[in-house]
Structures are given as structure tokens and as C-alpha cells.
Amino acid sequence: MDVVTNPYYPYEKVQSGFATMDHAGDIPTLICRYLMDLPLPGYTPPDNNAFPRVRLMKRLWYDCENPLGQPVPTPEQKLSMLFDGDNPVINTDIEQAAHPQGYRIFPVMYWMQSQMDAKASVKCYMGREIPLDDFTQEIAITFDIYVNANLETGMGVGGLSKVYAMEKDIIAALHGVNITGIGTINYSRTAHADNGSRPYYDESGTNVGRRLTMSVRFSNTEGGVIS
């Protein structure tokens, strides 16, 4: 039997070098970890409310009336909010101790009870892709930002106000930032027709929030990434 070396057999690929979208699926996870503002070699995250990622993490972690008056969550606390697909449901005492605030940061389009129980949460996932040419796509990056509807009864500020503040933090942290391996994050309708934000409510009625869409111009071809 002949060994087939042509991946397009029995046809012939007569043009090459086009977009492959390799690694595009990593975009939500890379963005979530960037927003978490974790320590890096030579970099210690600040605790300064002038930094949008600091404000965002405080608003996600704390359910009190004045989250910005609290210390920034530790790296361990931030990571405990990141959804773990290998352990999607937090049931045992050990799991609850490891994730005291539950999962609140989701680099997937996923809905589950542990998210519905959380007071605040952010989902990040890829939206519509618009091919600009044979080599480049503008990819929508969607954020669903929620708070539990009961939050308004336990805080001096309405839940929707907290959602809007978190939305502004995400825009401030990402708009115009060039993230290595992804590209520059855009927030303009001229870049992607879906860019913008609007009110959003989950089907259960438990959570209220906003759906924010930003985008990135992504090029990953058979010959490598174009930047």
C-alpha cells in the first residue's frame, strides 16, 4: 500500500499560505490571565486603584459595599476564581476551601450552578470571526459580565452599577493593548461590526449584567503568525 503524504488526498491544494487559525482558541485564556494581573519574573502586581486590572479583581473578589477599599486579592485568590475544566463543580469541603469565592472567571462560554451562585463573574469567549482577506481575520472577543440579582439587597450600590464599573475596567485594561501572541485589542465598530456593549440577562433570571464585545486582528498562516 502506498503511503499517503498529501493531507488533501485525493485532491490537490493549489494555493497555500492562507490562515490556519492555529492557537486562536487560546485567546480567551490568555486574556483572562492577563486581566488577573499575576506576578511575572521582574514584575510584582500593584495594589493601586489607578490600575484597571486592580479595580477589576477587587470588584470580582469582594462582595462588600466598597470593594475598592479592600486590599488587592493575592495571586492565589485570583487563581482560585479561574474556572477549572477538570474540576468544574465545587462540592467538597476541600474544594470549597480552595475556591472560597467559587469560580468567577470563565475563559469559556459555559454556564453552571457554581457560577450562578457567585456574586460576580466574567465569561470570556470568542465570538464572530470576520475574514478580512486570505490571511487575516478580525475576531470578536465577548465578555459576559454578571452579578447575582440578590447583590443589590446587600450593597449600597446597585448590582448593575457594579457590572458597568467592571465593564469599564475591562475596556480600560484591554483597549489598545498589544498582547503577545494575540495582537492589539480593538474597541471600534470600524474594526469589527459587533464591537460594543449592551444589557444582558441570563435565562435563569438569577444574574443581570452586560455583554461587552471587543476584537483583535489575528493572522496565523501556514507560514507562521503575521504581525
Q: Given a cut of 60, is residue 223 above it in pLDDT?
A: no
Does residue 146 sit in helix, strand or coil? strand
- Is the model more confident about 213 or about 96? 213
Q: Which residue has the higher pLDDT, 26 or 46?
A: 46
Pairing mode of beta strands 105-106, 120-131: parallel
DSSP string for 31-97: HHHHHHT--BTTB-----TTSHHHHHHHHHH--SS-GGGSPPPPHHHHHHTB--TTS----SHHHHH
Short-list 227, 223, 225, CA closest to 16: 223
What is the per-residue pLDDT for 170? 97
pLDDT score for 151: 62
**What confidence tens digit (pLDDT) does each residue in 61-91 have?**
998 888 999 999 999 999 999 998 888 888 8
Question: For residue 22, what pLDDT band results from cuts at 50, 70 and 90?
Answer: low
- Cell, residue 184: 492589539
Residues in the chain: 227
Taking alpha carbons only, the member of 83, 86, 126, 85 closest to residue 104 is 83
Encode burial over 147-161: b for 16+ CB neighbours within 10 A, e otherwise.
bbbebbeebeeebbe
Indicate the pLDDT class of residue 208, thresholds 50, 70 and 90: confident
Instruction: Identify the pLDDT of residue 133.
Output: 85
Quick one: which of 43, 75, 70 has its CA closest to 58?
70
For residue 164, give every residue at least 6 positions away whose Cβ sits within 8 Å of its Cβ, in sequence order, or none. Answer: 210
Separation of alpha carbons 38 and 22, rounded Å: 25
Q: How far apart are CA 69 and CA 64, in angstroms?
A: 10
Instruction: Report the 10 Å Cβ neighbour count for 98.
Output: 14
Q: What is the pLDDT of residues 93-119, one digit of tens each?
A: 998 899 999 999 999 876 555 445 557
Residue 14's pLDDT band, with cuts at 50, 70 and 90, is low
